[in-house]
């Protein structure tokens, strides 16, 4: 086991989920292909997945700004999906089938290193989600994928979406620790910068395939984050777990 300068100061790790822990794009493309075959339709699933995800940030922004009341991600995903189905000429689907498709976000597959890395990290740290995904989504996802969380924490518990500081501070408070004892782990620099501004430590894990092959990598300054790793197993190594 390697040691690390953070040893003894970080007590819990909170993980961003979509992109950081699970491959949302690959999962939607895979399940989408089965869905299309079952319903005898043709869909460009990579494009569909990208458009679905692209609608997510503006929808959350409407909640953060107060334009929309608090709505969980399941509801935001459905709002975006309804628009996409019309655009893609898929408006003839039955309600049950649409609801099932919307719930694909509960059934995303983890990156291959996620479960082994988390299992190691759990030996030394409290490990939790800190995702904008709703509580039931994260619970169902963990159960299906075998993600060994100590607990589930969601933006839903705070009625604030990341990057609002209430989410990072609220997680530390629920865990009974100081913000400086909590490390956010994410593949999104903006999420990490907001966590750092709230007083948390930060762990950056690169996920170059999150947006599909051939996309430019995220821009990260040298020394900007406390730990940088290529995957969760390397993160465990660097954090002495």
Which region, judged by CB under 8 A, interacts with its own copies, from 26-34, 113-121, 175-183, 211-219? 175-183
Shortest separation between residue 156's beta carbon and its own copies, angstroms: 7
Assess 126 for contact with its own copies (CB under 8 A): yes
Q: What is the DSSP string of 76-135?
A: HHHHHHHHHHHHTT-TT--HHHHHHHHGGGGSPPBPTTHHHHHHHHHHHSEEEE-BSS-H
Assess 119 for contact with its own copies (CB under 8 A): no
Assess 152 for contact with its own copies (CB under 8 A): yes
Shortest separation between residue 173's beta carbon and its own copies, angstroms: 9
Shortest separation between residue 98's beta carbon and its own copies, angstroms: 16
What is d(CA 85, CA 57) in angstroms, rounded to the nearest whole number?
19
Total binding residues toward its own copies, as defined by CB under 8 A: 22
Q: What is the DSSP string of 158-180?
A: TT--TTSHHHHHHHHHHHTS-GG
Which region, judged by CB under 8 A, interacts with its own copies, from 24-32, 47-55, 144-152, 223-231? 144-152
Structure tokens at 161: 């979406």
Task: Single out the residue of 16, 156, 181, 226 in contact with its own copies (rule: CB under 8 A).
Answer: 156
Task: Single out the residue of 64, 79, 116, 135 in contact with its own copies (rule: CB under 8 A).
Answer: 135
In the sheet with 12-15, reading across from the earlier edge strand, the strands are: 126-129, 12-15, 182-186, 201-205, 227-229
What letter does residue 1 receive in the DSSP assignment? -
Residue closer to its own copies by CB (options 119, 136) is 136
């Amino acid at each position: 086991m390697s040691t690390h300068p953070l040893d003894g100061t970080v007590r819990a790790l909170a993980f961003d989920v979509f992109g950081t822990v699970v491959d949302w794009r690959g999962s939607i493309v895979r399940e989408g292909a089965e869905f299309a075959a079952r319903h005898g339709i043709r869909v460009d699933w990579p494009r569909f997945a990208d458009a679905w995800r692209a609608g997510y940030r503006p929808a959350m922004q409407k909640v953060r700004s107060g334009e929309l009341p608090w709505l969980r991600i399941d509801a935001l995903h459905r709002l975006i999906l309804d628009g996409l189905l019309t655009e893609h000429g898929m408006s003839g689907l039955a309600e049950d089938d649409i609801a099932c498709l919307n719930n694909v976000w509960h059934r995303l597959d983890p990156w291959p290193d996620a479960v082994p890395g988390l299992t190691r990290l759990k030996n030394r740290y409290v490990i939790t989600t800190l995702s904008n995904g709703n509580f039931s989504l994260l619970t169902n996802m963990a159960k299906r994928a075998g993600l060994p969380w100590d607990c589930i924490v969601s933006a839903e518990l705070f009625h604030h979406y990341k990057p609002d500081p209430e989410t990072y501070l609220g997680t530390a408070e629920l865990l009974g620790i100081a913000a400086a004892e909590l490390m956010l782990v994410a593949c999104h620099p903006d999420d990490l910068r907001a966590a750092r501004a709230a007083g948390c430590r930060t762990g950056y894990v690169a996920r170059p395939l999150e947006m599909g092959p051939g996309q430019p990598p995220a821009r990260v300054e040298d020394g900007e984050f406390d730990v940088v790793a290529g995957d969760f197993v390397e993160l465990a190594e660097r954090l002495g777990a």
